Amino acid sequence: MRLTILGGGGFRVPLVYGALLRDRAEGRVTHITLHDLDGARLNAIARVLADQGAGVPDAPSVTVTTDLDEALRGADFVFSAIRVGGLEGRAADERVALAEGVLGQETVGAGGIAYGLRTVPVAVDIARRVARLSPGAWVINFTNPAGLVTEAMSRHLGDRVIGICDSPVGLGRRVARVLGVADPARARLDYVGLNHLGWLRGVYADEGSGTGAGAVNLLPALFEDESALTSFEEGRLFGAEWLRSLGSVPNEYLHYYYFNRETVTAYREAKQTRGAFLRDQQARFYDGMAERTSAEGALAAWDHTRAEREATYMAENREAAGAGERAADDLESGGYEYVALALMRAIARDEQATLILNVRNGTTLPLLDEDAVVEVPCLVGATGARPVAVSPLTGHEAGLVAAVKAVERCVLEAGESGSARAAVKAFALHPLVDSVGVARRLLDGYRSAHPGLGYLRSGA
């Protein structure tokens, strides 16, 4: 089994490799090809993997390349985790939006639109190459904004591309734990929405035993229990009272919507934005790695940087909400790489696992057309991922999902046709951008900040 990782010099690649090293079952990945545009980053990550794999029998072999077509040929799975424009680009996405007084965030609001506009043409190019060079491969997309990018790629790869995110899994795991479900992986989660815009509306497990996918919805009991409500991340972030009002548990990214004013203020007042912090932190890591001559100690250096990164994840939101530190067990990884691996296994071994994934809607949500990529629980086996039934969206959920999907469609149109008008429309229609004038200035600001947006033509 051959896995190709695009963005192979990326910081999270060792998480995936670590999960692969622990996988001893038949049909596991035996070879990894890391692809990246940046050879120095590739070498740095290859050293960490060498240190990780030292002494592990049958560790998957690793090759590196900067040639995309070479990386894609012969792949069974292609894992795409690229960052177009790098962390410098992420910092600019945040800065330009915040200067206009609107949210600048990696995937949400104006920042997410700018990131999408940069990424769609690149993702489409990758999808076309996969279709030509490795038509039988499954593409697992983690490239953000993941829902939008998965939809762009699905126009060329159909259901062969599946988008992943760790946030719904983390949410499900945290809530199931609070509800006393013994095996969260076996509970049926009624979760639905778009990537980074979803709600958990039900947790179905056998009452008492806490295992199996029984018919009892345990979630309503959570809203009766004040101390349980504030004992997990989303509860502290949104507050017990707001969760009761919603009657669901929102994805943590909805904090940017429900507390937009507070997060924008916190982001503007922060010493550094998240993107700028990570740009500097990661540069120190990669520079340090470039000075190394061997793999020894590379894993420890990586792990130190990883711990700091995780501890500061969404720190401004938590501060704005008075939520305090993130709980220690939320810092344990097992999110992102867990979903990627569980998905690969379920396809390769026809395991019939249920995972929350980004796939084409089909007839799941009547509100959206069949090709719209949504984030829903899916049954996964050898033939891919098929959405399972979820309860209907409430009026509020439907409103936000429809509004944000309309924005995504404008980004896709701009990315595919080069229309600057569609790009302005994307910014202007977003619920977190409050004026068409602001939208126009945002596009101007982003065009000066990002050479990669030069493809957008005015008057078109």
User: Nearest approach, Cβ of 452 to ligand G6P (angstroms)?
Assistant: 19
Q: Which tokens belong to 13?
A: 């690649």
- Chain residues binding ligand G6P by CB under 6 A are 106, 144, 165-167, 274, 278, 309, 313, 336
- Which residues 6+ apart lie within 8 Å of 227 measured at CB? none
Residue among 142, 127, 170 at smallest CA distance from 8: 142
Q: Which tokens belong to 54?
A: 């030292």
Residue of minimal Cβ distance to ligand G6P: 167
Q: Using DSSP, state whether 192 is helix, strand or coil.
A: strand
Q: Of ligand G6P, Mn ion, none, which one does residue 455 interact with (CB within 5 to 8 Å by kind)?
A: none
Ramachandran angles phi, psi of 161, nearest 5°: -110, 135
Q: Of ligand G6P, Mn ion, none, which one does residue 106 interact with (CB within 5 to 8 Å by kind)?
A: ligand G6P
Q: Which tokens belong to 323?
A: 């939520």
Among this protein's residues, is 166 annotated catalytic?
yes
Q: Of Mn ion, ligand G6P, none, which one does residue 156 interact with (CB within 5 to 8 Å by kind)?
A: none
Amino acid at 4: T
User: Nearest approach, Cβ of 146 to Mn ion (angstroms)?
Assistant: 6
Q: Are strands 197-204 and 188-194 parallel, antiparallel or unpaired?
A: antiparallel
Positions in 23-62 near Mn ion (CB under 5 A): none
User: Nearest approach, Cβ of 314 to ligand G6P (angstroms)?
Assistant: 7
What gap in Å lies between CA 88 and CA 298, rounded to an integer? 24
Q: Using DSSP, state whether 226 is helix, strand or coil.
A: helix
- Would you say 339 or 424 has its CB closer to ligand G6P? 339
Q: Of Mn ion, ligand G6P, none, which one does residue 178 interact with (CB within 5 to 8 Å by kind)?
A: none
Q: Can you say which residues are annotated as belonging to the binding site for substrate?
A: 90, 144
User: Nearest approach, Cβ of 246 to ligand G6P (angstroms)?
Assistant: 21
Instruction: Point out the catalytic residue in the list 36, 93, 166, 190.
Output: 166
What gap in Å lies between CA 242 and CA 240, rounded to an integer? 6
Q: How far is CA 291 from the centre of its chain?
A: 31
What gap in Å lies between CA 236 and CA 412, rounded to an integer? 35
Per DSSP, what are the bridge partners of residue 419? Answer: 457
Count of C-beta atoms within a 10 Å radius of residue 268: 14
- Would you say 165 or 200 has its CB closer to Mn ion? 165
- Would you say 178 or 278 has its CB closer to ligand G6P? 278
- Would you say 165 or 423 has its CB closer to ligand G6P? 165
Instruction: Point out the catalytic residue in the list 115, 191, 253, 446.
Output: 253
Among this protein's residues, is 446 annotated catalytic?
no
- Would you say 96 or 165 has its CB closer to ligand G6P? 165
Q: How far is CA 343 from the centre of its chain?
A: 14
Q: Can you say which residues are annotated as belonging to the binding site for Mn(2+)?
A: 165, 196
Buried b (16+ CB within 10 A) or exposed e, 401-410: beebbebbbb
Residue of minimal Cβ distance to Mn ion: 165
137 binds Mn ion (CB under 5 A): no
Q: Can you say which residues are annotated as belonging to the binding site?
A: 90, 144, 165, 196
User: Nearest approach, Cβ of 401 to Mn ion (angstroms)?
Assistant: 17
Positions in 139-178 near Mn ion (CB under 5 A): 165
380, 347 contact by CB (below 8 A): yes
- Would you say 68 or 165 has its CB closer to Mn ion? 165
Q: Give the number of residues in contact with Mn ion, rule: CB under 5 A.
A: 1
> What is the Cα Rg of the chain in Å?
21
Q: Of ligand G6P, Mn ion, none, which one does residue 309 interact with (CB within 5 to 8 Å by kind)?
A: ligand G6P
Interface residues with Mn ion (CB under 5 A)? 165
- Catalytic residue positions? 166, 253
